[in-house]
């Protein structure tokens, strides 16, 4: 779900080999070369907002300024780090890549790098069109003499299938999310104002070691969601609060329905999510989920917040595009965030789950069992 | 100056420009150094990519993504049309209708827009021309509301510094400290905080925090930059985990004197470059001339967004003439070979009588007993 993007990414993001071994990254890169057999190198762009692919291949989270990975098929990876030479030492703990250099003019850096690659090798570009226009044009000029193909689609497909260590990190993220959700509920039970409840939830997740925490909440009984802006102090009534927690790159998210007794709207949303989870198995058309929501929502409208995203792949990004209904089918190893929101004339309610598709069904990562 | 007065000034500039419409775009990634024309023209801080269209007659249209966030924009209460959109470029096309193909449009913010959106916007509006100055030339001076919010943000920053002094200790990681301070500022009403900090015995710069655990004798350098209702203010501070050496005290005294020189030089009618020169002069007189330039330092301060970062950097190449109600940072933030990087800086508001720090208590070398 989209939240207000922070101006600086703050929180633990160091690479830890015991959680994500170097072999995991070698496996991922090997898949890239299988997907692009003619490629000699790959260029991966990431910035603080949009860096899932960069993190997938280098573990690097660009906290302050953009970064570009230059991944050669037959050489060590190089990471261009924004912010100048004095930022390099601070960046080193965030990645296994040892060759870190300042990102200045990307065109110049790529031209030099290309000289080390075979002249007929294709170049795969990932997320390059997220760059602002000027560096994009500079890169475009540098690549003018090369065959270039986009690697976005194939890499996204690879990223949807989670390894065992990725699933372990997502379970850890869910545990942190549970800490935050519990603190939210406790604050609500004490009668705290809604913004205070949100702050308690965020703080509990931070203290549990979260890399990042995002939130949205409602001041109108769930009809709309809004980011924390420091201006709302209205008393908390029954209301949804969206909470997302990131751990070592991987996100977990939920909507906590604050209130003592689930109302009809909430119960209906929970019922639908339970059905979606029960249906999950390899080969299930995503359109089937969409049809289920339509069939089960009864007299209630789909909440605008989830209208385009009742099911999304989840992992290294919160902003993965909605995929429900586009003809694809579920595959074993994928992780999905399910979010069903319903709305009547005056209120809104949500239910959520995160699942890992198994060989025969689905493991529910969230809610915790 | 009020928000509406600034909007009228921009509309008047638009009328003289030859453009039929002014479009401001922003991708929703709110960065301290990225100006946001959508905020300037509407006051709205978007979750996703957003655009604003200002017509020659003064009509304002705000294109909001994701669609469901449009109600928050409506709640601002400003007189404008809201266009909810799944895609910001399609939203602009909807807002312009058949005019899109032929209209002479100036655009602000395009240079920071992702290429994938910028390309499509150019395709949709063949007569699009960049026109950032149309928006930002009117933002050299902050509005009354922005100044009030900067004061509130400064109070939060100063409270954050007190929190840092209370909790920073050896064994704590930089990340833990930065995350706690960011959260603390939110608990005081900040909607964001550019909490840039690091620690070490000899810092080369101030960099984003990482997992390094702080040690006795470390020097913590931090920029605490809360945003209050979208307006940033910053304080730059240096703290020692333990007792400061005489050399460090002396060095910090030097950068404080440099900052004082910057404040003394910042007066209406003076070029921003002269403020930078005044700061450099103090350091050059002590033999640190070579450290007054990149890679050690590239500026002695900067404007404060999120909406506009005018009047720009306190730098030798900024000839902007200072005027009352300009708001910017003055921070010498100097690398010295004997001590490493040292931070001191205050948010400065230009008054008719000169620059005034918004802080109650200005920078001093701090020590935390360990």
What's the rounded Cα separation, in Å, for the pair B232 and B152?
Answer: 9
Which of A3, A85, A129 has the CB atom closest to B116's CB atom?
Answer: A129
Note whether A48 contacts B31, CB cutoff 8 Å: yes
Note whether A228 contacts B48, CB cutoff 8 Å: no
Which of B115, B193, B306 has the CB atom closest to A131's CB atom?
Answer: B115
**CB crowding B277-295: b at 16 or more within 10 Å, else e:** bbbbebbeeeebeebbeee
Cβ within 8 Å of A, B 287-316: 294-295, 306
* A82 Cα to chain B: minimum distance (Å): 11
With contacts defined as CB-CB under 8 Å, which chain A residues touch B207?
64, 83, 86-87, 89-91
What's the rounded Cα separation, in Å, for the pair B185 and A267?
Answer: 36
Conformational region of residue B257, where left means phi above 0, alpha means psi within -120 to 50, and beta covers everything else: alpha
What's the rounded Cα separation, in Å, for the pair B203 and B214?
Answer: 13
Task: Tally C-beta pairs within 8 A across A and B.
Answer: 161
Note whether A133 contacts B66, CB cutoff 8 Å: no
Tens digit of each residue's pLDDT, chain A (369 residues): 899 999 999 999 999 999 999 999 999 999 999 999 999 999 999 999 999 999 999 999 999 999 999 999 999 999 999 998 999 999 999 999 999 999 999 999 999 999 999 999 999 999 999 999 999 999 999 999 999 999 999 999 999 999 999 999 999 999 999 999 999 999 999 988 899 999 999 999 999 999 999 999 998 999 999 999 887 767 667 789 999 999 999 999 999 998 866 789 999 999 999 999 999 999 999 999 999 999 999 999 999 999 988 999 999 998 766 665 567 899 999 999 999 999 998 899 999 999 999 999 999 999 987
Q: Which of B115, B172, B213, B341 to mutate to test the interface with A (most CBs of A within 10 A)?
A: B115
Going along chain A from its start, the domains and CATH numbers come out as 22-159 (3.40.350.10), 164-366 (3.90.230.10)
What is the end-to-end Cα distance of chain B in Å, rounded? 48
Which of A5, A10, A87 has the CB atom closest to B28's CB atom?
Answer: A5
Tens digit of each residue's pLDDT, chain B (370 residues): 999 999 999 999 999 999 999 999 999 999 999 999 999 999 999 999 999 999 999 999 999 999 999 999 999 989 999 999 999 999 999 999 999 999 999 999 999 999 999 999 999 999 999 999 999 999 999 999 999 999 999 999 999 999 999 999 999 999 999 999 999 999 999 999 999 999 999 999 999 999 999 999 999 999 999 999 999 999 999 999 999 999 999 999 999 999 999 999 999 999 999 999 999 999 999 999 999 988 888 899 999 999 999 999 999 999 999 999 999 999 999 999 999 999 999 999 999 999 999 999 999 999 999 9
What's the rounded Cα separation, in Å, for the pair B231 and B153?
Answer: 7
* Beta strands in chain A, from DSSP E residues, in sequence order: 39-46, 67-72, 78-81, 99-102, 122-126, 148-150, 212-217, 239-247, 250-258, 301-302, 311-313, 335-343, 348-357, 362-366
pLDDT at A320 (0 to 100): 62
* B236 Cα to chain A: minimum distance (Å): 16
Q: Beta strand pairing status for A250-258 and A212-217?
A: unpaired
Closest chain B residue to A10 measured between Cα atoms?
A: B179
Note whether A90 contacts B68, CB cutoff 8 Å: no
Look up the pTM and report it.
0.97
Give the pair of three-digit tokens for residue A32.
Answer: 């890239």
Provide the edge-to-edge strand list for the sheet that holds B226-228.
B192-193, B226-228, B231-232
A296-322 pLDDT, tens digit per residue, is 999 999 999 999 889 999 999 987 666
ipTM value: 0.96
Closest CA relative to residue B58, chosen from B96, B92, B21, B83: B21
Q: Are B251 and B339 in contact (CB under 8 A)?
A: yes
What's the rounded Cα separation, in Å, for the pair A218 and B30?
Answer: 22
- Let me know the angle formed at the C-alpha of A175 by A24 and B175, rounded to the nearest 5 degrees: 70
Closest chain A residue to B183 measured between Cα atoms?
A: A203
Give the pair of three-digit tokens for residue A264.
Answer: 């009809």
Residue B349's Cα: distance from chain center in Å?
A: 14
Which of B176, B195, B211 has the CB atom closest to A8's CB atom?
Answer: B195
B319-333 pLDDT, tens digit per residue, is 999 999 999 999 999
Note whether A129 contacts B45, CB cutoff 8 Å: no
Which of A9, A10, A132 has the CB atom closest to B111's CB atom?
Answer: A132
The DSSP string of B264-300 is HH--TT-BHHHHHHHHHHHHHTTT-GGGGSTTT-S-S
Tell me if chain A has a CB within 8 Å of the CB of B337: no
């Amino acid at each position: 779900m989209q939240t207000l993007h922070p101006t600086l990414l703050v929180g633990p993001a160091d690479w830890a080999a015991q959680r994500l071994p170097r072999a995991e990254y070698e496996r991922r890169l090997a898949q890239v070369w299988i997907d692009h057999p003619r490629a000699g190198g790959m260029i991966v762009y990431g910035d603080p907002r949009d860096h899932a692919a960069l993190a997938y291949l280098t573990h690097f989270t660009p906290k302050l300024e953009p970064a570009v990975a230059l991944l050669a098929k037959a050489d060590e990876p190089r990471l261009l780090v924004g912010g100048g030479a004095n930022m390099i030492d601070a960046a080193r703990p965030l990645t296994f890549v040892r060759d870190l250099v300042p990102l200045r003019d990307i065109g110049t850096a790529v031209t030099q790098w290309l000289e080390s690659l075979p002249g007929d090798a294709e170049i795969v570009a990932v997320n390059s069109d997220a760059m602002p226009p000027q560096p994009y044009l500079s890169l475009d000029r540098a690549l003018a003499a090369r065959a270039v193909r986009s690697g976005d689609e194939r890499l996204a497909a690879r990223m949807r299938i989670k390894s065992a260590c990725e699933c372990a990190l997502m379970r850890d993220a869910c545990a942190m999310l549970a800490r935050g959700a519990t603190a939210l509920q406790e604050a609500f039970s004490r009668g705290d104002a809604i913004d205070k409840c949100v702050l308690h939830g965020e703080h509990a997740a931070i203290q549990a070691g979260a890399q990042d925490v995002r939130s949205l909440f409602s001041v109108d009984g769930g009809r709309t969601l809004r980011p924390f802006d420091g201006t709302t102090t209205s008393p908390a009534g029954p209301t949804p609060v969206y909470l997302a927690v990131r751990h070592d790159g991987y996100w977990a998210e939920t909507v906590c329905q604050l209130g003592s007794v689930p109302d009809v709207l909430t119960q209906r949303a929970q019922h639908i999510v339970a059905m979606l989870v029960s249906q999950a198995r390899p080969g299930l058309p995503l359109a089937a989920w969409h049809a289920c929501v339509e069939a089960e929502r009864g007299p209630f409208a789909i909440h605008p917040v989830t209208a385009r995203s009742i099911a999304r792949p989840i992992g290294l990004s919160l902003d993965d595009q909605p995929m429900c209904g586009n003809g694809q089918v579920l595959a074993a190893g994928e992780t999905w965030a399910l979010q069903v929101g319903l709305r009547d004339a005056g209120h809104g309610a949500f239910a959520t789950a995160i699942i890992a598709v198994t060989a025969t069904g689905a493991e529910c990562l969230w809610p915790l069992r | 100056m009020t928000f509406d007065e600034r909007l009228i000034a921009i509309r008047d500039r638009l009328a003289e420009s030859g453009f039929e419409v002014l479009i401001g775009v922003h991708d929703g990634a709110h960065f301290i150094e990225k100006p946001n024309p959508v905020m300037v023209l509407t006051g709205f801080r978007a979750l996703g990519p957003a655009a604003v269209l200002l017509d020659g007659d003064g009509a304002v249209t705000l294109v909001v993504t994701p669609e469901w966030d449009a109600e928050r924009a409506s709640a601002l209460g400003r007189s404008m049309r809201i266009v909810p959109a799944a895609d910001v470029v399609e939203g602009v096309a909807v807002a312009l209708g058949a005019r899109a193909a032929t209209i002479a449009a100036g655009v602000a913010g395009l240079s920071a827009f992702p290429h994938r959106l910028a390309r499509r916007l150019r395709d949709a509006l063949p007569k699009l021309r960049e026109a950032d100055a149309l928006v930002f030339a009117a933002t050299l001076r902050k509005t009354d509301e922005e100044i009030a919010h900067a004061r509130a943000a400064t109070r939060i920053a100063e409270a954050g510094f007190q929190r840092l002094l209370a909790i920073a200790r050896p064994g704590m990681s930089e990340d833990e400290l930065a995350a706690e301070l960011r959260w603390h500022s939110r608990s005081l009403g900040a909607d964001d905080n550019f909490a840039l900090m690091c620690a070490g015995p000899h810092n080369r710069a101030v960099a984003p925090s990482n997992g390094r655990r702080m040690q006795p004798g470390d020097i913590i350098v931090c920029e605490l930059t809360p945003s209050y209702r979208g307006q940033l203010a910053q304080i730059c501070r240096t703290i020692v985990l333990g007792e400061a050496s005489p050399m460090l005290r002396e060095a910090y005294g030097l950068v404080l004197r440099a900052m004082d020189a910057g404040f003394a030089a910042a007066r209406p009618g003076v070029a921003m470059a002269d403020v930078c020169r005044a700061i450099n002069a103090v350091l050059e007189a002590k033999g640190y001339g070579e450290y007054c330039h990149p890679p050690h330092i590239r500026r002695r301060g900067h404007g404060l967004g999120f909406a506009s970062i005018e009047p720009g950097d306190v730098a030798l190449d900024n000839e902007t003439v200072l005027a009352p109600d300009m708001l910017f940072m003055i921070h010498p933030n100097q690398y010295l070979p004997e001590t490493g990087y040292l931070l001191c800086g205050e948010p400065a508001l230009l008054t008719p009588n000169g620059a005034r720090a918004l802080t109650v208590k200005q920078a001093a070398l701090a020590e935390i007993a360990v």
